[in-house]
Structure 1
Amino acid sequence: MGEQPIFTTRAHVFQIDPSTKKNWVPASKQAVTVSYFYDSTRNSYRIISVDGSKVIINSTITPNMNFTKTSQKFGQWADSRANTVFGLGFASEQQLSKFAEKFQEVKEAAKLAREKSQENIETSSEHLLESGRETPSDNQASSFNGTDDEKISYGPENEVLKSENDQLKSVVDQSKKWETELQGLKESNARLADALQEANSNAENWKSEVTKCQEENNQLRNKISELELQCKGVNVERERNAQLTVRIQELEADLQDKQLELEDLRKQAEIIPQLMAECESITAKLKAAELTNRNLNEQMKQLNGEINDSEQKQKNVKTELKKFMDVLDGKIDELHEVRQGISKLGIDN
């Protein structure tokens, strides 16, 4: 059947900078397809990603690999065979969690496959040893084969021995195949030991890198706490901005009212020249009226003076008239007395 995809997702692919071992270098300009593949013939798992015609991830999963979540949407794993570290940036935390769960599942399956392969190697080596012990020598084989006379003399027993001889030959051929495969496995084991040693050395390097990353993570956490405080301030500013938005809307409504008033004033301003002309004529009339009023005030003052003089004269005339009336009353009294005296004289005469 070959390799078949068992899980597929999309993510931005990064690789660690080989010179600094710290910075991430983008391997894809945009989100690309990242898939888990299972090879049923080799019983192995790989992560493969292709950007156009370029293979940017070709990583075989081993039981020693670990997938680490470094943030809510970013994860990474180290591949000692490729001598690099792959990083994936996902669109959501849910996609990252699914990829991490699949990585752990594939890792466990690779571990079981390795253990099963080692058991098969051990059992095959035991079978080889047993078959080596039980395999008869060439002399024995030739004795089983025997001569033509012996074949004729033995009859059915010779047929049985012939079949057993054929089985032994097949076992010998199979043992030779197992020996070649065992030699290949020994070579593979040696390569795996070298790779393991290299992985251990890389692990030491990665431990120092992890400590540095932890320090950077602590700094980032402190930075995140600062940013959270700033976000609280931003929320306060948002509330203020909301209040200012409401205030701006109110001012815009007031501005529209003011614009209407301004249009009314502009219309009224067209009448202002006429009003100014009328105002000038009214001002001239007012000045003339003020001048007339001043003249009238002066005349009033003169009349008031004349009235005061006439009143004073009237008072003097009244006093003189009163004096005259008093004198006249006295004279009248005297005349009355004279008349009475004359009347008495006439009566007496």
Structure 2
Amino acid sequence: MSSSATNREQPIFSTRAHVFQIDPVTKKNWIPASKHAATVSYFYDATRNVYRIISVGGTKAIINSTITPNMTFTKTSQKFGQWADSRANTVYGLGFASEQNLSQFAEKFQELREAARLARERSQDKTELTSPAFNLTSQQVVPSPIISANGPGDDKLFRSQSAEMELSTERERVKKMLSEGSVCEVQWEAEFFSLQDNNNKLVAALREANANVEKWKKQLAGYQEEAERLRQRVTELESQVTPNTTAEQQDELSERLHGLELLLKSKEEEILVLKGQRPDLVELESERDELLKRLEELEARNQELEKEVHKAEEQLKESQEERGRVREEINRAGDELDIKICQLNELRLGLSQLLESN
């Protein structure tokens, strides 16, 4: 920014933010304009009666945007905002350190945009009031092609505005479709992860049950072997009882036999308890197969949603390209309008000079 511009422009508000510009190729990704946070300021140009946003990084201006009444500053997150500058043919983005800084910058943007609108209206009113030649000849010079407001350039502008409205409607429709697709995708993903978690829990429970079954099988086999051994021992003791055995020995053998029978009975009861505790492996496997089937269905549904999102992104890209072409037409129409305004000003000046000379 030159020294003359510095003298005639006065800073109104300053803050620090990370500056970004939209990628001119993809129109989607942000490109950092500076490595660190830079000072971003609002300036007022008293000579031209305009407001500008200026930020200097190193030796060059990374932002030089004139605020116009049709500009809009949009908050895209708690600490990030952006606005489009059709004259610079780019979109600026600012990342702030806090939500409060973003709100202050957005409020000042809205205030200065309104001030720019009022300044433009006052400038137009002042031009009409202070131009006596235009007032005197406004009824006489109506057929002038310069003053005509319905030329081919204006028709083109109206067509561009209509195309802009259609593009805006299409963009909203695509955004809504993308939003609905994203919500469905999130819901399906949540259910998918929930089923995955349940499936992992069932698999872990099945493995634990299998391990317990193996353990119970080993215990059951050990108890059966011990029971068989006790039966053999009872048989041996019974075979040892002969007519020559004394009453004392018979009593001792009877007690031992009774104790072995009680032990055998207790072991058989433990075997029955273990059999009752054995889980239903067939039911667990059936439930696991059902969950795997649902998981496959969800994966297929997820792939369909991804295809729909990809299709929507392609449609959005086509809409953005169409919007770019419409913007180019609007810019060309604006340039033609500026030329007509310059010619009109020259005509007013000539008429004023002619009136003064007469």
* Range class of TM-score, shorter chain: 0.3 to 0.5
Q: Which has the larger radius of gyration?
A: 1
TM-score in terms of structure 1 length: 0.42
TM-score in terms of structure 2 length: 0.41
Q: Which structure shows the higher helix fraction? A: 1
